[in-house]
Structure 1
Amino acid sequence: MSWSRPARVGALAIAALSLPFLAACGGESGAKEADASGKPAAESPNLVIYSGRSEELIAPLLKDLEKSTGAKVEVRYGDSAELAAQLLEEGDKTKADLFFSQDAGALGALGKNGRLAQLPQKSLDAVDKTFRAEDGTWVGVSGRARVIAYNGDKVKSAPTSVNDLTKPEWKGKVGYAPTNASFQAFVTGMRVMKGDDATRAWLKDFEANDPQAFEKNGAVLDAVDAGKAELGLINHYYWYEKAAEVGEAKLKAKLSFPAKGDPGALVNVAGVGVLKGTDAEATAQKAVEFLLSEQAQTYFADETHEYPLAADVSSKDELPSLDSIGTPEVDLSKLESLDVTLEMLQEAGMV
């Protein structure tokens, strides 16, 4: 998912002031009113979801969620950071019951501002602590690893660290998507892991090595596969999607998973949180349970080519195990500091 520069700058600050409430969520979210006896009415079967995941990607899964919970699901789709900003602006007047984010940073922003309810321990325990909030306010449901794509015909020994990409031998040969949310989350992760000064230095050296800028991860992968770029920074599932489409044997692009603990080995998550104060909390919690169920986890493994994080589901893609990847020890909630990352990217001339 890529953002234009104006939309990205000041992401959480300005988005809350500019986004209208879309007609897709025109219904009520399940607000309870007192009946004639003064007792609250039963919880409405409606469930309003703000989704940073695209309709094309998850609409079939949300139909199954609707069947599982018995709720009528209404969805507002949009960019995760912008939706998080909107939720902060709406506060306790929001119609949303559940936030389904494309990345952990947007969830971290809501948790930091006290807008997410505590999740049941059962849901939290379904996922490794690396992929859930330390305060129990959100949980990851699928994961995606950062990787270095390389052209197998031109590169015989692929780099295993993003630090290698600033070396002279890769000058002008690396593709990346600087305005893409996944690249910016990677940079934010480096900041959390290594500090702002070290990250600023890496960005300066990387930019000085004349990388090729693309709008999206898919375009980066295509360039690597065509030999227009020898290396590319992408998320793993773009390669697996393309391999499923055209056949692995036809791909010249290969994948190098960065070494354990390298900033480039970050595994970010798509995750969910229940809005604090919702009158459909029980239904929202059921929705969280469904997304952590074997059925939903299989969907992520087979249809989106991501890592299932909860159920013991094996991927038909034969992905390297999360343990073998060795994602750096980063509190994913801290990926919410996107504004500082954007300032750094601007300073480096990347956005």
Structure 2
Amino acid sequence: MTLRRALAVSAAALLALTTAACGQDDGQEPLSDDALVIYSGRNENLVKGILDQLEERTGIDVQVRYGTSSELAAQLLEEGEGTKADLFFSQDAGALGAVAKAGRLETLPAATLDRVQEGFADDGQKWVATSARARVIAYDPAQAPEVTEMTTVDAVLDPKYKGRIGFAPTNASFQTFVTALRVTKGEDGAREWLEKFKANEPKAFDNNILVLDAVDSGQVALGLVNHYYWYERVAEKGASGVKVEIHFLNADDPGALVNVAGVGVIAGSPQKDAALKAVDFLLSAEGQRYFADETAEYPVVPGIESTKHDLVPLEQLKGSSVDLNQLDSLDQTLALLDEVGLT
């Protein structure tokens, strides 16, 4: 996706300027007035299983429209009160924040919000997390064993890593990390960080899987990714078949950002009761274990553990203290990346 296209479909940019790029005349199945309509910014391959279970367990007729979180947030803002969506299932907190800021999400019951760990529900009670994922530094122990001592992502700016860092500039997780940089360091501080990062000649890859591949093969010494890519690789190949390791910075640092996927009920939805049942199902033990096992993400409800992945307990992680609602300024992040030359 080009920068201009990404800017055109980002939720924050479209608060002021909407586009018909993801309108309903796009060849998709017409949306029903009787079904629970979910706009899912989560990939179908990741969440179809749990949404099928939702339909089976609750008896609710579910219809899902898939797209990127920013595109669907933009569509919700464009459609306004005329939307047929009842529930917004977002890949990140920024898109939820943009829709909430526009007054398009219902207030969720306290009983629902209280089910998740502290910090994983909107202070304004408009959305709740369904799973969490942490930024980590993937590293080759043979090339960069010192990564285990890092407590800040600033450490990757050391000139000794010139040409030895992998990243995925078009990936939403990297862009959200840069947004966290902007929120934490300010615009000038984030620009300075990115300029130093660029001066280190990082190697760009199309996605985080390729970044992990590059570290695992020794092509680069370290890479910036999310934790679950590594856990999925270990589950697939076994620990002995994976050379790359990951390090949690475990500090109040943008490089330790713990972002979330989450849901919000659309304001004025005629299917509000069904939507709330869906939210509660995603926060049920069955729903939370699905994320822990099938996507290697962190459950946000206390007491749920993965039966498949040896995840570091979420409560043991110290992540960035940035307000996740502040991650909704994707347009400014993309403009800064373009300005610095990291797109």
TM range (shorter): over 0.9
What is the alpha-carbon distance in structure 1 between the residues aligned to residue 113 and residue 243 of structure 2?
A: 40
Partner of 1:113: 102
Partner of 2:339: 347
Equivalent in 317, 321, 332 of residue 329 of structure 1: 321
Partner of 1:5: 3
> In structure 2, the residue corresponding to 1:195 is in which secondary structure?
helix
Structure 1 runs, 4 residues or longer, greater than 4 Å off: 22-25
Equivalent in 57, 64, 80 of residue 53 of structure 2: 64
Partner of 1:226: 217
Q: Which amino acid aligns with 1:6?
A: R
Q: CA shift at 1:28, angstroms?
A: 2.1
What is the TM-score with the length of structure 1 in the denominator?
A: 0.92
What is the alpha-carbon distance in structure 1 between the residues aligned to residue 228 and residue 278 of structure 2?
A: 25
Matched, 1:130 2:133: no
Q: Which amino acid aligns with 1:5?
A: L
Partner of 1:286: 277
Contact in 1 for aligned 2:3/2:334 (Cα 8 Å): no
Partner of 1:139: 128
Q: CA shift at 1:226, angstroms?
A: 0.5
What is the TM-score with the length of structure 2 in the denominator?
A: 0.94
Contact in 2 for aligned 1:130/1:329 (Cα 8 Å): no
Equivalent in 319, 329, 350 of residue 311 of structure 2: 319
What is the alpha-carbon distance in structure 1 between the residues aligned to residue 18 and residue 297 of structure 2?
A: 28
What is the alpha-carbon distance in structure 2 between the residues aligned to residue 217 and residue 194 of structure 1?
A: 24
What is the alpha-carbon distance in structure 2 between the residues aligned to residue 311 and residue 173 of structure 1?
A: 38
Q: Which moved more, 1:5-14 or 1:225-234?
A: 5-14
Partner of 1:87: 76
Percent identity reads 50
Q: CA shift at 1:25, angstroms?
A: 4.7
CA shift digits 1:271-323 (9 cap, x unpaired): 00000010000000000000000000000000000000015211232222223
Q: CA shift at 1:227, angstroms?
A: 0.5
> In structure 1, the residue corresponding to 2:20 is in which secondary structure?
helix
Q: CA shift at 1:245, angstroms?
A: 0.7
Aligned in 2, Cα 1:25/1:103: closer, same or farther, shift over 3 Å? Answer: farther
Aligned in 2, Cα 1:27/1:262: closer, same or farther, shift over 3 Å? Answer: closer
Matched, 1:259 2:229: no
What is the alpha-carbon distance in structure 1 between the residues aligned to residue 175 and residue 209 of structure 2?
A: 16
Contact in 1 for aligned 2:87/2:263 (Cα 8 Å): yes
Q: CA shift at 1:9, angstroms?
A: 2.1
CA shift digits 1:246-275 (9 cap, x unpaired): 111111100011131121000000000000
What is the alpha-carbon distance in structure 1 between the residues aligned to residue 33 and residue 98 of structure 2?
A: 22
Partner of 1:153: 142
Aligned in 2, Cα 1:343/1:5: closer, same or farther, shift over 3 Å? Answer: closer
Contact in 1 for aligned 2:36/2:63 (Cα 8 Å): yes
Contact in 1 for aligned 2:3/2:338 (Cα 8 Å): no
Q: CA shift at 1:24, angstroms?
A: 4.2
Q: Which amino acid aligns with 2:156?
A: L
Matched, 1:302 2:300: no
Matched, 1:28 2:26: no
Matched, 1:245 2:245: no
Partner of 1:270: 261
Q: Which moved more, 1:58-67 or 1:81-90?
A: 58-67
Q: CA-atom RMSD, angstroms?
A: 1.4
**Any unmatched runs of 5+ in structure 1?**
31-45
Contact in 2 for aligned 1:99/1:272 (Cα 8 Å): yes
Contact in 2 for aligned 1:25/1:75 (Cα 8 Å): no
What is the alpha-carbon distance in structure 2 between the residues aligned to residue 311 and residue 324 of structure 1?
A: 12
Equivalent in 11, 19, 35 of residue 16 of structure 1: 19
Q: Which amino acid aligns with 2:142?
A: D
What is the alpha-carbon distance in structure 2 between the residues aligned to residue 213 and residue 132 of structure 1?
A: 33
Contact in 2 for aligned 1:16/1:88 (Cα 8 Å): no
Larger-gyration structure (1/2): 1
Aligned in 2, Cα 1:23/1:61: closer, same or farther, shift over 3 Å? Answer: farther
**Any unmatched runs of 5+ in structure 2?**
none
Partner of 1:73: 62
Contact in 2 for aligned 1:294/1:311 (Cα 8 Å): no
Matched, 1:217 2:215: no
> In structure 2, the residue corresponding to 1:328 is in which secondary structure?
coil
Q: Which amino acid aligns with 1:80?
A: S
What is the alpha-carbon distance in structure 2 between the residues aligned to residue 94 and residue 137 of structure 1?
A: 18
Q: Which moved more, 1:185-194 or 1:293-302?
A: 185-194
Q: CA shift at 1:131, angstroms?
A: 1.6
Contact in 2 for aligned 1:25/1:48 (Cα 8 Å): no
Matched, 1:236 2:227: yes
